Structure 1
Amino acid sequence: MTDSTPATATARALPRARRPKGVSADAPGMRAALYVRLSRETENSTSPERQRAACEALCAARGWQVVVVEEDIDVSGYSRGLDRPGLQRILARLAEFDVIVFFKIDRLARSTVDFAEIMKVTQAEGVALASASEPLDLTSSMGRAMAKVIAVFAELESDTIGMRVSSAHEHLRREGRYTGGRVPYGYRVVPNPDGAGKILEINPDEAKTIHEIVQRVLNQDSLLKIAVDLTESDKPSPGHSSRQTTGKRSDSKRWYPSTLRSLLGNPQLLGQVIEDGEPILMTDGLPLVNRPPILDVDTWQALQDELGRRANPGNRRREGTALLRGIVHCAVCRNRMYTYVAKGRVRYRCIGRLKARQAGTELTCYGVSIAGEGMEQHVTALFLEKFGAFPVVRMVEHVGEDFRPQIRQAREALEDLEKDRYDRGLFKGEEGAERYAAQYAKLEERLASLNEKQRTAKPAGVEAVPTGRTHAQLWKDADTAGKRDLLLNAGAYVEVGMSRKGGPRLDTSRLAVYFGEDGEIRRADADAKDVEAVVQRAAAQTLELF
């Protein structure tokens, strides 16, 4: 904000005569620019009015004329450096005054580097610097040296304040309090029912949206399709200005696949507390959880496994890929068949002939080809006939519970407590004995509780969870990549033999279509993979299908 001078001041600053080097800034009649800065106004801060009053008092005492007053309110001198609007306006008008007056050095600059840069710029223009609360004469070498020393301590104080604020925020987060910033999607800010401050609680509407997204991801829907549907539903995205009051905001409600990946990969959905992008850990090394989780651990693990599968270059779903790519093989040379376009129609052909020529080996295959649309329709019909009515289930892996490390820790704590009393002579006197007995009883109670939990601990395992949809329903809603995934999960394998007769219609006698373990084994053998490993995996997939 710019404050014009009183009515008695001249309307236009007159050209300033250069002040000879070494002349004290105490000389009367000098033109002054007042600078006021405040990061955040609190009861303990020096208000802009108090800063300005102190600067004006100094000018009045020395006979200086106030030419301009500039303020930077709610502007950090530490994070913004010299990039402050009020300060920049002063530095742009150095030819119009003789001295810059500020309340304290830390109001002008929070770092030694910034202060030295300001001194360099002002000295080049013959402009003095004056502090209203510090007895410094910055026109002399000794005064400038002392100012730099003060600036060093101001920077140290700023760093110390930053460390105190960071520690205070971490303490509040550990206590379950909300410390400001972006609100995680799925939560909302409410008053703390147990005391001062605010906390985060689950936002029912956003939590419902998250559960719907997770269910669709686990049901093999693409992130792109989910993002499009969310945008069309007009639901605000996580960064929309309607739910974010600070930080990076957007006026667009549009969702993107990257938005979903960031949301679904955030451990805050488990109720974990995040600081600087990482979960806060407890003393036992486990993440701190002090707010209600939106997802349970089993769902979270299944979700991360699915996202990891999609991110894996070897298993990544390719949008727009051919339906039978990687599934259809040549019956002559057992090489994979790839698509090409001939006369506007998609066909599959074997490239075994090309591979043999490149390798310099004997040609054993003339290059089998077949119309793509008819073959895809035939394989689709067989798949739906065989699996369409079967329900789709999701295999959920339970991590299992193991309290043995905590039991060992509790036993060691009991042993240490006994050594403290009997070997080290601690807990002396009547009060000491009472404290010892109380601590010992608590540890024994905790050990008994852990032993009981270990006795009834949930074992690790895999559970088939129904999705409520059939394979036919899932096929209808899936895109090409999703349908290809369904075929691969069903163990689909297709071999194309040589053409026996011409004609526009598909000769299905050329096709051998396999599903299940038989198809998995044949595809692994054709691709030169470990057949034994495929047998074991196919058995697990059979459980998932049936």
Structure 2
Amino acid sequence: MTTSTLQRPKIQGTNLLRVLGALRLSVSSDESTSIERQTDEVNHWTDSPSRDAKVIGFAEDTDVSGSMSPWDRPGLGPWLRALDDLCLVNGCWHQKDEPCMGQWDVLVAWKLDRLSRNTVDFGKLLEWAQKHNKVIVSTQENFDLSTDIGVMVAKIIMIFAEFELKTIAARIKSSMSKLRMKGRWLGGNPPTGYQSVRTDDGMTLVQDPVYGPLVKRIYTMLVVDLMSAGSICKILNNEGILTWSDHMRQQKGRKVKGHKWLPQVLGKMFTSATLCGYVMHDGEIYADSSGKWVKISETPILTYTEWDQANKQLARNAQNLGHKNYRARDNETAHLSTATRCGECWCPMYVSRRRARTGTKIYEHYRCSYGNYGVDCKMRSSIERSELEALFSEQIIDQLGNAPELRKVVTPGVDHTPELEAGRLRLAKLENDFIAGKYDSDAKEASYWRTLESLTAEIARLEAIPVTETTVGWVETGKTFADKWASMDEEDRRTYLLANEVTILVFKDAGGKRKPGVVTHFGALQEMAVRAGIKSAENETWAETQHQCPPFWALTEEQIAEQPREWHEIMRKNFEVEEIVLPETLTRLRTTRQEDVEQAA
């Protein structure tokens, strides 16, 4: 292409052609089309004596596929957009660090496939260039894009480039499939807790000496110690432990960004079964042609059972935090949040804040969150935060204050039930696919019988492994319960109460007008009290206290039924009810841990 076909910029005092170099590389290690070589080609074309041109910048895209639209590329995309209306004409006033379509006249690339390998995208780029008086130049393909013949030749070349892209993609897909079948790591940053190690047959994963044990420690805190994800993150952040992404940056000599551990990070870490040494593909554990799960590491951090336990515990923690659309709020650290529930609808109660109409006073109440769940709650319980927290502290210190604080230690047993269930599901799917006619050729039928034989053998192997029951022990921490309670902050208290299944029910006006009733159930703390030697704790009524509630709520349904008729009449008259029955939520709350308490005693 000659410069005579190019439109010169209308900038006062100069006739320079403003050149933008378009550089693209799919793989940064490809030396045949390196960024440096492409840069030299653009500079060589610009510096030709026959041209009055100057390079004003380079749009560099490294590790970017040719299938990506030019407008979506991080390097080139900004140069194809207008920052304001003035950019649509020559004479853009923006600085060099503000890429804009008004700053250049000629887009120069080493080859057309550096601009795009997609015929449709390239056609759109040509139309855009003609509309905005821009010229596209390829330094290797010698044709004039300002003529119809030149455009036709360019589009033919682009068809071959697109075909080559599809061929490359097919080769990569085939290669990745073979590596996946062999249990090899495909490249990129390894998953949390692993290092990638090159072998003669590809890369495999081994435990990272620091983060492998760290993942195991996080599992223990989550599953054994029943800590919340928030509390675990708090410990990791206080200890100054880098997140996995920052650790990888540090390993590569890059600047650490200082990201904090977050519950979402922990949740994402446990979603992949790579933690238990298996290859993942499309969100599922990858199986070979015989139906066996392919291993990617001979030194897995967790067993499959442990991985399954961690995910189930995370799911339980998420349920404790509320419904599926739950979002953390600044008031969520109130230690009775979530443990407190509405006596009418069972929805969790959270702290709401309201400023006084005059002055600066802030009113804080625990309120029913019925609106978050789409529940029609007639009671809509609420209680002042200070009143409920003072009442609960008095109750729990009165019950447990001088007792030695004990920590429950759970030692998980050996149980392959999760793997068995997964195997049976895969077997059922295999048989259903066979019945549906999906194995409709001799080769497919042979594959079916191989997979069937492999799966049934694996299920039989797992069924033959004896199950070892989980053991529970208790150890003294050296503190009284009152000491422990005083030392905990809001989040620690909230986590502790949830882990021990403490539940508080609040009933609007149960004790009279504007006198909310409160029923507190101490859950697993009753078992701890028995272990600590509090004799009264063995009594089934120990675990429940009531405040400003009708006296018959302290009875069981059987005890209420045994009362004489006169008693029922007095209660109906005094409390203005048609029938003496317990609230449904109170009955639900009393499906207690009595068997655990008896076992502890």
Report if TM-score (shorter chain) is over 0.5.
Answer: yes
Q: Which has the larger radius of gyration?
A: 1
- 1:480 matched to which residue of 2? 493
Q: Give 1:233 shift.
A: 1.2
Deviation sequence 1:390-409 (CA, Å, 0-9, x none): 84446768343759969x99
2:584 counterpart letter in structure 1: A
Asked if 2 retains the 8 angstrom alpha-carbon contact of 1:36 and 1:48, the reply is yes
Partners of 1:315 and 1:57 lie apart in 2 by: 64
Name the SS for the 1:479 alignment partner: helix
Asked if 1 retains the 8 angstrom alpha-carbon contact of 2:191 and 2:274, the reply is yes
- 1:81 matched to which residue of 2? 70
Asked if 2 retains the 8 angstrom alpha-carbon contact of 1:396 and 1:465, the reply is no
Partners of 1:57 and 1:339 lie apart in 2 by: 68
Partners of 1:529 and 1:68 lie apart in 2 by: 78
Q: Give 1:293 shift.
A: 1.8
Deviation sequence 1:446-471 (CA, Å, 0-9, x none): 89976983673335x85234475669
Asked if 1 retains the 8 angstrom alpha-carbon contact of 2:292 and 2:455, the reply is no
Partners of 1:380 and 1:463 lie apart in 2 by: 31
Partners of 1:513 and 1:528 lie apart in 2 by: 18
Partners of 1:138 and 1:340 lie apart in 2 by: 66
- 1:419 matched to which residue of 2? none
Deviation sequence 1:53-72 (CA, Å, 0-9, x none): 98999999x99548457764
Asked if residue 210 in structure 1 is aligned to residue 215 in structure 2, the reply is yes
- 1:304 matched to which residue of 2? 311
Partners of 1:251 and 1:372 lie apart in 2 by: 39
Partners of 1:328 and 1:86 lie apart in 2 by: 57
Asked if 2 retains the 8 angstrom alpha-carbon contact of 1:81 and 1:109, the reply is yes
1:212 counterpart letter in structure 2: R
Q: Give 1:149 shift.
A: 3.4
Asked if 1 retains the 8 angstrom alpha-carbon contact of 2:410 and 2:473, the reply is yes
The unaligned stretches of length 5 or more in structure 2 are 8-16, 80-98, 354-360, 368-376, 380-385, 432-441, 443-448, 513-518, 528-539, 545-552, 558-581
Partners of 1:324 and 1:312 lie apart in 2 by: 10
The unaligned stretches of length 5 or more in structure 1 are 1-15, 21-29, 331-335, 350-357, 361-368, 413-423, 425-439, 500-509
2:264 counterpart letter in structure 1: S
Partners of 1:447 and 1:513 lie apart in 2 by: 46
Partners of 1:189 and 1:253 lie apart in 2 by: 23
Partners of 1:524 and 1:64 lie apart in 2 by: 101
Asked if 1 retains the 8 angstrom alpha-carbon contact of 2:343 and 2:585, the reply is no
Partners of 1:337 and 1:49 lie apart in 2 by: 62
- 1:280 matched to which residue of 2? 286
Asked if 2 retains the 8 angstrom alpha-carbon contact of 1:187 and 1:200, the reply is yes
Partners of 1:339 and 1:128 lie apart in 2 by: 62
- What are the within-5 Å matches in structure 2 for residues 493-532 of structure 1? 515=526, 519=543, 526-528=582-584
Deviation sequence 1:468-523 (CA, Å, 0-9, x none): 5669598676822234336536x99999x989xxxxxxxxxx99999576558979
Q: Give 1:531 shift.
A: 5.7
Partners of 1:216 and 1:205 lie apart in 2 by: 17
Name the SS for the 1:488 alignment partner: coil
1:464 counterpart letter in structure 2: T
Partners of 1:315 and 1:544 lie apart in 2 by: 31
- 1:39 matched to which residue of 2? 26
Deviation sequence 1:305-350 (CA, Å, 0-9, x none): 22111111587896314399659999xxxxx999999x9999999x
1:295 counterpart letter in structure 2: L
Asked if 1 retains the 8 angstrom alpha-carbon contact of 2:406 and 2:474, the reply is no
- What are the within-5 Å matches in structure 2 for residues 94-109 of structure 1? 95=105, 102-109=109-116
Partners of 2:6 and 2:343 lie apart in 1 by: 90
Asked if residue 229 in structure 1 is aligned to residue 235 in structure 2, the reply is yes
Asked if 1 retains the 8 angstrom alpha-carbon contact of 2:420 and 2:459, the reply is no
Q: Give 1:106 shift.
A: 1.3
Asked if 2 retains the 8 angstrom alpha-carbon contact of 1:31 and 1:67, the reply is yes
Name the SS for the 2:70 alignment partner: coil
Partners of 1:78 and 1:303 lie apart in 2 by: 39
- 1:456 matched to which residue of 2? 464
Asked if 1 retains the 8 angstrom alpha-carbon contact of 2:320 and 2:338, the reply is no
Q: Give 1:544 shift.
A: 8.1
Asked if 2 retains the 8 angstrom alpha-carbon contact of 1:348 and 1:370, the reply is no
Asked if residue 322 in structure 1 is aligned to residue 327 in structure 2, the reply is no
Partners of 2:311 and 2:470 lie apart in 1 by: 17
Q: Provide the alpha-carbon RMSD of the alignment.
A: 6.1
Q: Give 1:84 shift.
A: 6.5
Partners of 1:488 and 1:197 lie apart in 2 by: 49
Deviation sequence 1:289-315 (CA, Å, 0-9, x none): 321321223333332222111111587
Name the SS for the 2:241 alignment partner: coil
The percent of aligned pairs where both chains have the same amino acid is: 21
Deviation sequence 1:36-81 (CA, Å, 0-9, x none): 6543466784466877898999999x99548457764735343362
Name the SS for the 1:204 alignment partner: coil
Asked if 2 retains the 8 angstrom alpha-carbon contact of 1:32 and 1:66, the reply is no
Aligned pairs, how many?
455
- 2:198 matched to which residue of 1? 191
Asked if 2 retains the 8 angstrom alpha-carbon contact of 1:241 and 1:249, the reply is no
